[in-house]
Amino acid sequence: MPDETRAVPRLTLVLGGARSGKSAHAEWLVSAQAGPWLYVATAQGWDDEMRERIALHRARRPPPWETVDAPRDLAGAIRRAPPGRPVLVDCLTLWLTNAMLDEEADLAAEVADLLAACAAAPGPLVLVSNEVGFGIVPENALARRFRDEAGRLHQRLATLADRVVLVVAGLPMTIKGETQ
């Protein structure tokens, strides 16, 4: 591995609001490394709106991007990534949604397993997630639980991460680690 890659953060968490440009920023971070790059997609095509969003995301990633779908076994997909391959996970929010909607899932165990996979990953690994906690308390109980789980997951990942970035209007604010 060449010397200049030593400074590349092993684990980066990219947070942002809806349509903040967080995915594009994360792709930029990953594609600054030597390819090929692995894109781990967590979206599930539940409805037309979601399928349209997936299609838009895929259109942005021609080779040397390689795509794997991991709507449920995200920890496994991270563990199966070839060592040294830059990995982009887009996004944790959808994975968490899928896990919470799976009534047979043990969410706490799955979160712990995901954290273990991220902690063990050789990197560079870039995780994208939606920051969803800056609005009024949702009236819907599931939505309240979702933002609690998302917030706790982000805190735990931020502890593991070498770099945490908050994207606003396409612009990255580095809140942990060195500014790129």
Look at the block and give the residue holding tokens 């396409």.
170
Angle at CA of residue 49, ends 44 and 55, nearest 5°: 65
Q: How does DSSP classify residue 103?
A: T
Q: Catalytic: 154?
A: no
**Cβ atoms within 10 Å of 106's Cβ, excluding its own:** 11
Q: Which is nearer to a second copy, 53 or 80 (CB)?
A: 53
Say how far apart CA 61 and CA 93 lie, in whole Å.
20
Minimum CB–partner distance for residue 67 and a second copy (Å): 23
Question: What are residue 173's DSSP bridge partners?
Answer: 166
For the record, the structure tokens of 133 come out as 């906690």
> 97 a known binding residue?
no
Q: Is 176 annotated as a binding residue?
A: no
From the candidates 57, 72, 156, 176, give the one annotated as an active-site residue.
57
Q: Is 43 annotated as a binding residue?
A: yes
Site residues for a second copy per CB under 8 A: 13, 15-21, 49, 131-140, 143-144, 146-148, 150-152, 154-155, 157-159, 164, 166, 168-171, 173, 175-176
* CA distances from residue 87 to 19, 62, 103, 138 in whole angstroms, order as listed: 21, 15, 29, 33
23 is in an annotated binding site: yes
Catalytically active residues are: 57
Give the residue ranges of the annotated binding site for GTP.
16-23, 41-43, 58-61, 90
